[in-house]
Amino acid sequence: MRSTHDIPPLAAVRVFEAVARHLSFTRAAEELGMTQAAASYQIKVLEERVGQPLFLRKARSIELTEAGRVLSPALTDAFQRMSAAFDTMQDRTSRILSIKSQATFAAQWLMQRIGLFQSANPDLAVRLDATMNASDFQSEDIDVVIRAGSGQWPGLVSHLLVESVFTPMLSPRLLAEMGGLSGPADLLRYRLFDATDPWWSIWFEKAGVTSVARALPPTSCFGTQFLEGRAVLVGKSVGILNPHLFQSEIASGQLVQPFDILGRGDIAGYFLVYPEARRNVPKIRLFRDWILGEIEASAHAPLSFAS
């Protein structure tokens, strides 16, 4: 089998194909965006490489030599095949939007609305990977990422979607069973889900409740707000959750947010992230504009609080 190292430089081959097709150095140079002198130089490189002339230079025209006539149709066909392959690849990839999202955001916000995006863009298929794993644009085939963090990542554009805030929530049935709440300190009469979570201490301190640590025995821990929220919906515990990610449960009355006091941790929030170099890719631009519009709309949705 012939080694690929024996193939002449692709730049020279590409110029030959264009010159042979047009039978003109000037028109080939214009097509390829180079000077006529540069095109002539590439042909000279190629002829030296193959060891024989490929064109007959006449006063006002050029013609292919026998060697040139052998190469020309084969190379034109090869470039047409490559062009078709790239067109097919670009068409397929341009029709698929690959999203990698932090699991809780995907379950609690994105999946409730992604159908709206697909309805508005029926020619664009969505692939969603909901995960807790870190993402890497260099090694993964992904277009955009929704991740939690500071929003400062070199080489990446980030748009804040949801602030990282938290507050206690519980089911209305548990609230009724416990006789209601007159103030934040009353929460200590309840079983707190994952009482060792630092968010509890932060929130109670902001609410003005002291000596909390001695009153908080260790309880279950599920690792994500989504799973904790499911447990709070059906269980006997109070969870500490991000109200922006449980808007539908609050609005429907499945969960009660008894106080409007919000705690803040060391993470700024959830961000839409993509490489700076790809900010104008049509499918990324479509998704960015859509999700920021939905975030803006949901920000004005009222949150209900227990009386």
Per-residue pLDDT tens over the stretch 154-213: 989 999 999 999 999 999 999 998 888 889 999 988 888 888 888 998 999 999 998 665
Tens of pLDDT, residue by residue over 270-304, are 999 999 988 889 999 999 999 999 999 887 555 44
Query: What fold is seen in the domain 4-94?
Result: Arc Repressor Mutant, subunit A (1.10.10)
What gap in Å lies between CA 18 and CA 24, rounded to an integer? 8
Question: How confident is the model at residue 62, as a pLDDT?
Answer: 92
Q: What is the pTM of this model?
A: 0.68
* Tokens found for residue 32: 């390829």
Question: How confident is the model at residue 191, as a pLDDT?
Answer: 87
Q: Are 259 and 168 in contact (CB under 8 A)?
A: yes
**Phi, psi at residue 240, to the nearest 5°?**
-115, 115
Q: Is the CATH code 3.40.190.290 the one for domain 97-307?
A: yes
Domain boundaries defined on the chain = 4-94, 97-307
What gap in Å lies between CA 163 and CA 265, rounded to an integer? 10
Tens of pLDDT, residue by residue over 128-159, are 998 877 777 877 889 999 999 999 999 899 99
Q: Is residue 16's pLDDT more than 80?
A: yes
Q: Are 166 and 203 in contact (CB under 8 A)?
A: yes
Question: How confident is the model at residue 210, as a pLDDT?
Answer: 81
Question: How confident is the model at residue 305, as a pLDDT?
Answer: 43
Q: Are 124 and 97 in contact (CB under 8 A)?
A: yes
